[in-house]
């Protein structure tokens, strides 16, 4: 694939992807902090999108009442399909984190770039080139070296945890594709809001059917932590990604989000007194090569669907 110099709009979009990945890098520490105060994974899986939904509602309210109107078809796609993907991701992430810990969950989560690159070739016409495929594999390899190079982390890989981790990666990748497809006509905020509505409802239904008690924060600091968790990882980060997907190809953006493990590793060193073995530092270096390469390589030449186009007027 011939490299092209990225224009300013592409540069801004890729920076949005990197910032989204940075914010998502806080997910593990937030979840662990809530577990430690007695909030179980199923409750965290519901509180997180519900908290994000409050902020998304406030953002969307500025656009007027029309922003909340959906036709039947849009409701089925945005609330139904989008909600299933969001709800599945929230539950899988929390169950995987509880079963195998943050490092293994992040490693399995970042099977997503390979999934996105493959699926975007089928549904979006983003041709898989040797460079694109190589960068995706390089980034995934960097993630695995980084998370398993962490010192002071006990990784107990169980079949249940591995399966939930794989579901996390596939659902996360599918959500990236969802944002790319729906953003073409509806912008970034509307699909994000309604899919989060559907996801919150899906998790709530799971909690009710499963008979698990909903445990809410018991004091103001914990409520503040939960609200910040929702703001950063369910409102700000996906809004940045969805906005960037109006310019970037889905596969390229997915590679960029692998910046998350770097942030997670830094936070683990600062907050959890964890360090990296030499192989972990090697993983970070490999990861950065993959992330930087996805930006520098430029768009792939496909059937025309995936070429960068001006975003629609709705946002």
Annotate 51-68 with DSSP letters as a single string: HHHHHHHHHHHTT-GGGG
Quick: pLDDT tens for 185-220: 888 899 999 999 999 999 999 888 888 889 999 999
pLDDT at 67 over 60: yes
243 close to 74: Cβ distance less than 8 angstroms: no
The single-letter DSSP state of residue 311 is: P
pLDDT over 70 percentage in the chain: 81
- The answer to the question of residue 278 being in a domain is yes
Quick: pLDDT tens for 91-105: 998 888 777 776 677
Number of Cβ within a 10 Å radius of residue 79? 21
How many independent structural domains does the chain possess? Answer: 1
Report the sign of the C-alpha dihedral through residues 263, 183, 79, 113, in that order. Answer: negative
- The answer to the question of residue 131 being in a domain is yes
3-state SS, residue 312: coil
3-state SS, residue 234: helix
Low-confidence winner among 14-28, 106-120, 267-281 (lowest mean pLDDT): 267-281
C-alpha dihedral over 201, 202, 205, 211, to 10 degrees?
-120
pLDDT at 5 over 60: no
- The answer to the question of residue 305 being in a domain is no
Find the radius of gyration of the CA atoms of the chain.
19
Query: What's the confidence (pLDDT) of residue 215?
Result: 93
- The answer to the question of residue 314 being in a domain is no
Higher pLDDT among residues 14 and 287, named by residue: 14
Entry pTM? 0.81
As a whole number of angstroms, the distance between CA 166 and CA 295 comes to: 26
C-alpha dihedral over 268, 85, 175, 261, to 10 degrees?
10
Q: Nearest 5°: CA angle at 116, between 112 and 122?
A: 150
pLDDT at 244 over 70: yes
Higher pLDDT among residues 309 and 9, named by residue: 9
As a whole number of angstroms, the distance between CA 31 and CA 217 comes to: 13
- The answer to the question of residue 303 being in a domain is no
Higher pLDDT among residues 178 and 130, named by residue: 178
As a whole number of angstroms, the distance between CA 229 and CA 105 comes to: 18
Q: Which of 103, 96, 90 is nearest to 25 (CA)?
A: 103
pLDDT at 15 over 80: yes
pLDDT at 149 over 70: no
- The answer to the question of residue 167 being in a domain is yes
* pLDDT band with cut points at 50, 70 and 90 for residue 154: low
The whole domain housing 41 covers 12-297
**Strands 150-151, 275-276: parallel, antiparallel or unpaired by DSSP?**
antiparallel
307 CB contacts (<8 Å, ≥6 apart)? 299, 301
48 close to 226: Cβ distance less than 8 angstroms: yes
- The answer to the question of residue 311 being in a domain is no
pLDDT at 307 over 60: no
Helices (H) then strands (E): counts for the chain: 14, 2
As a whole number of angstroms, the distance between CA 35 and CA 204 comes to: 18
- The answer to the question of residue 47 being in a domain is yes
């Amino acid at each position: 694939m011939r490299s092209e110099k990225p224009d300013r709009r592409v540069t801004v979009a890729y920076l949005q992807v990197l910032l989204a990945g940075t914010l998502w890098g806080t997910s593990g520490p937030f979840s662990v902090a809530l577990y430690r105060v007695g909030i179980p994974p199923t409750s965290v899986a519901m509180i997180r999108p519900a908290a994000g939904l409050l902020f998304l509602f406030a953002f969307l309210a500025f656009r007027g009442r029309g922003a909340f109107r959906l036709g039947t078809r849009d409701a089925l796609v945005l609330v139904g399909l989008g909600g299933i993907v969001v709800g599945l991701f929230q539950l899988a992430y929390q169950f995987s984190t509880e079963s195998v810990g943050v490092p293994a969950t992040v490693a399995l989560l970042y099977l997503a770039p390979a999934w996105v690159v493959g699926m975007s070739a089928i549904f979006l016409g983003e041709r898989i080139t040797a460079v694109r495929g190589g960068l995706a594999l390089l980034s995934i390899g960097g993630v695995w070296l980084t998370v398993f190079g962490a010192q002071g982390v006990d990784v107990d890989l169980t079949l249940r945890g591995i399966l939930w981790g794989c579901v996390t990666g596939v659902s996360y990748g599918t959500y990236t594709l969802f944002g790319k497809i729906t953003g073409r006509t509806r912008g970034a905020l509307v699909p994000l809001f309604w899919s989060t509505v559907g996801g919150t409802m899906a998790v709530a239904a799971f909690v009710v059917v499963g008979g698990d008690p909903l445990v809410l924060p018991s004091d103001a600091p914990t409520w503040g932590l939960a609200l910040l968790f929702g703001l950063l990882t369910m409102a700000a980060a996906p809004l940045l990604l969805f906005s960037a997907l109006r310019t970037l190809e889905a596969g390229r953006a997915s590679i960029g989000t692998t910046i998350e493990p770097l942030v997670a590793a830094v936070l683990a060193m600062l907050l959890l007194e964890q360090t990296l073995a030499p192989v972990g530092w090697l993983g970070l270096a490999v990861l950065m090569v993959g992330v930087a390469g996805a930006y520098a390589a430029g768009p792939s030449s496909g059937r025309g669907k995936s070429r960068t186009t001006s975003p629609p007027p709705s946002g």
